[in-house]
Amino acid sequence: MTPLLIAGPAVEPLTLAEMRLYLRLDDSAEDDLVAALIKAARLLVEGACGRQLIAQTWRLPLNRWPPGRAVLLPLSPLLSVARVRVYDLAGAGTDLAAPLYRADTAADPPRVVVEAAAPEPGRAFAGIEIDIVAGFGTAAADVPAPLVQAIRLLVARWFESRGDGPADAALPPDLAALVAPYRIRRVATQNVDFPGLFQTACSKNVAR
């Protein structure tokens, strides 16, 4: 089971008008292509730095509470925790009261600290769901300028090549340098009970 995107970003770090101006396009004939490239570039930059750029809501499954009940999160920056739900043996879910957990947004990676009074899950697999909002903010202006510039340059290169270049999931070295200061450091292997690829997502984005 992987983290589930509940609500994607309401806007992109670059508007279509801004990118059209940068590409010196005089009309809207290729707007669909440019919009698709902006989204693809944002996803690649997010993957490269291990951070979400614009506020988006994710649901994170967990089998049980880790030792110390400090849940390290693979998605950042953490804006808020929307809900923590625990499932009993019958599969019925109950939302934890707000006093039973707190978000540590200052930590990097961020974490959710759960009080000892919070119940243990009864369901053996994905007995806990944590809904979080991650991103630098809700507006494009909240995204650090170097990350926006990496998206801008990546879109321009893709637009000019029109698929003639080799497919590559990695950023070119000069663009990787823009992203490097924002790469999330390695998440400790404490959360071994995140189902499936969730733990893998934690360890892939290692600062080089």
Q: Closest by alpha carbon to 118, among 103, 140, 100?
A: 100
pLDDT digits (tens, 9 = 90+) for 129-155: 999 999 999 999 999 999 999 999 999
Report angle CA 155, 157, 158 to the nearest 5 degrees.
65
Instruction: Name the amino acid, one letter, at 86.
Output: V
Q: Is the pLDDT of residue 98 over 60?
A: yes
pLDDT band at 199 (very low <50, low <70, confident <90, very high): very low
Looking at the structure of the chain, the number of domains it has is 1
Output the pTM of the full model. 0.83
Domain containing 159 equals 1-208
Q: What SS3 class is residue 92?
A: coil
Check pLDDT > 60 for residue 189. Answer: no
pLDDT digits (tens, 9 = 90+) for 36-53: 999 999 999 999 999 999
